[in-house]
Structure 1
Amino acid sequence: MSRRAADRLKIVLNHLGRPNSAVGTAFTSSLNASYPIQALRYTLDTDVLSPEQRISYEENGFILIKNLVSEEDINKFRAEFERICRRDVRIPGLLVMRDVAIAKSEFVHDEKAVSKLQDFQEDPELFRYCMLPQILKYVECFTGPNIMAMHTMLINKPPDAGKKTSRHPMHQDLHYFPFRPADRIVCAWTAMEKVDRQNGCLVVMPGSHKGTLHEHDYPEWEGGVNKLYHGIQNFEPSHARVYVEMEKGDTLFFHPLLIHGSGMNKTPGFRKAISCHYASADCYYIDVEGTTQENISKEVQELAYKKYKMDNSVSFQDTWFLRARLVQGERTSM
């Protein structure tokens, strides 16, 4: 870390009134140790994030970068999404999902029937999002230089049909991931149009990334819940919440333990966003048997057997290894 950046960070810590906090103490100690590169827990020193931005992420577990992805790129991603919905193109391994409120008899092949595309790593146009230099520049601040794209989604939140099924329960993304450490994983989530409380923006619980992984399962909602939409069973309901309203091209970066979800889409239109979860290539896989993640492990394996005709010997970890793609640096472990 440069001396100038270090001095700025000291000023921010003092301004926040926490010069004697754990973060402040750790940082002050690091200053006395010839400015080591890793002074803070959740962010790495790349001279991309300002000291103020680093402190904000350390405290809250997320950071919003305005106007990061161009309108031209977003329009191209939208056009590719529409091609996939019309079945003009078929992508190997792509999971096309529809809202639980859409009956099979009503299903037609257009974007009004698709609520999400998952695992688009084999689609060159959509996967280009995961390799945008301006995205990776920020991702490196959390993962380090060796970066794997682990999980890809394009969300097309539909207008709610009256059953509140367009909601996404409060959850932690780490529930789905059999790899660690959590601090070297980050999600980039880009709004493809204006996102606000009316059409179901993300809602986050600032600081919840400092906690542990909670138990997740399907919520007992009257209208049902979409496939794989697990939610936290018990969390503090009085915890402060922030509704993250965004403009087209804005990008939210957040920690995998951050508790978040989204509300109903109360508008007649669809709310689109594109995202990728990244991890350091130096991360490692873990065995989730006997943990709170065992339920999602079994569900994903069953889905892989059914949809992709995979052999029963393919593990939960294997399904992630097969989908992972190197986007920067070297594939050292993942």
Structure 2
Amino acid sequence: MDAKRLQIIHSHLRSGRKQLVPENTIAKEFRYTIDGAGILTHEQRRFYEENGYLVIKKLIPPNEIEMYRQRFEEISKRQVTIPGMTIMKDVSIAKSEHVEGEKAITKIQDFYNDPVLFSYCHNARIHQYVESITGSNIMAVHSMLINKPPDTGKKTSRHPLHQDLHYFIFRPADQICAAWTAMQRVDRSNGCLVVQPGSHKAGVLKEHGYPQWEGGVNKLYHGILDYEPNAPRVHLIMEEGDTVFFHPLLIHGSGTNVSDGFRKAISCHFASSECHYIKSADTSHSEAEKEVLEVVRRKLGADVDVSWEDVSRWRFRLVKGTRINL
């Protein structure tokens, strides 16, 4: 065989060598964010990948924050009634008949039928960041306005360390994202969020339950039962309009409000509509499912035959793109 023919054969072998390596064996730089989606910069993606959260300063303008605040006041004064919405009280005042207005409400959930508050979940400023995590088909799967009260001394205003995936029976977790916006300055004095950076990377949903706190625990405020008390924590000091995005496996909670005022924040969880439901039986979700269905049956009737997936499909709302599975 002449030298020229050998050179040609060698050239073909070299050019074909890349095809011998399957594409899925090549390490990706990013796991938790999507290439070419949303507006996250390279550095922001790296921070989210490493830490499981990302704070965007002044994302929501003051006029929108004031709109949410006024709507909360209207709801607390019973000037408006929103179908399907859940109003929660702190366990320390839950049975009191003498607490009214803002002081009576700890949290509003599921405000998908209120055009004012739900406009937060439709906010394009938020979507442009969420899309980097969920993709372009976005469902709003949970909504809250939190009104953390000044603590009565029983420390019931704190929220135990937990993972939000505990409350969701669909996957994959990496295509779920929370957006949480401070409606005022939030710091350690009024119970800011506290996170364990990088805790999402373990990829494990831990066992949850009610902590054994002397003063009691609010309904559905489940906490991780075997959390590591010495794990590094970061307290998120935020100004009005600042928004934190975080992964559903990130371990987080919030401290006691030792200030004289209420601490307000508005939040929505988003997920790709391409996520799929899982069966909750014999999983760590089973206890949460029981409590969720108890709440639903109190509203709809004790004999109603409904599953957690049914409730989820009913509550979830498409906010961008196409509804596929959820």
- Using the size of structure 2 for normalisation, the TM-score is 0.90
Deviations 1:188-224 (A, max 9, x none): 0000000000000000000111120000011110000
1:282 shift after superposition? 0.3
Quote the residue 2:241 is aligned against: 249
- The corresponding residue for 1:123 is 114
Distance 1:156 1:275 in 2: 11
Deviation at 1:28, TM superposition (A): 11
Does residue 41 (structure 1) correspond to residue 36 (structure 2)? The answer is no
Q: Which runs of 5+ in 1 are unaligned?
A: 1-25, 31-37
Counterpart of 2:324 in structure 1 is 332
1:320 has 2:312 as partner: yes
* More displaced stretch, 234-243 vs 184-193: 234-243
Report the identity percentage: 58
Q: Which residue of 2 aligns with 1:23?
A: none
Kindly report which structure 2 residues correspond to 1:1-334, keeping only aligned pairs within 5 A, or say none.
29=26, 39-45=29-35, 46=37, 48-211=39-202, 212-309=204-301, 311-334=303-326
CA contact (8 A) 2:38 2:130 kept: no
Residue 151 of structure 1 and its aligned partner are, at CA, apart by 0.1
User: Structure 1 segments of 4 or more deviating over 6 A?
Assistant: none
Q: SS of the residue aligned with 1:131?
A: coil
| In structure 2, distance between residues paired with 1:99 and 1:190 | 21
Structure 2: distance between partners of 1:28 and 1:303: 46
Q: Could you tell me how far 1:238 is from its partner in structure 2? A: 1.5
Where does the alignment leave 5 or more consecutive residues of structure 2 unmatched? 1-22
- How many aligned residue pairs are there? 302
The structure with the larger Rg is 2
**TM-score normalised to the size of structure 1?**
0.88
Quickly say closer, same or farther: Cα 1:64–1:310, change in 2 above 3 A.
farther
How far did residue 106 of structure 1 move?
A: 3.8
Shift of 1:131: 0.7
| Equivalence for 1:9 | none
Secondary structure at 2:111's aligned position in 1?
Answer: coil
Distance 1:47 1:226, change over 3 A: closer
Offset of 1:312 from its aligned partner? 3.7
Code of the residue aligned with 2:255 in structure 1: it is: G
Cα offset, 1:313, TM superposition: 2.2
Amino acid at match of 1:288: S
Q: Is the 8 A contact 1:93 1:308 kept in 2?
A: no
Cα distance, 1:311–1:137 mapped onto 2, change above 3 Å: farther
What SS is found at the alignment partner of 2:160? strand
Report the AA paired with residue 294 of structure 2: E
Alpha-carbon offset, residue 237 of structure 1:
1.5
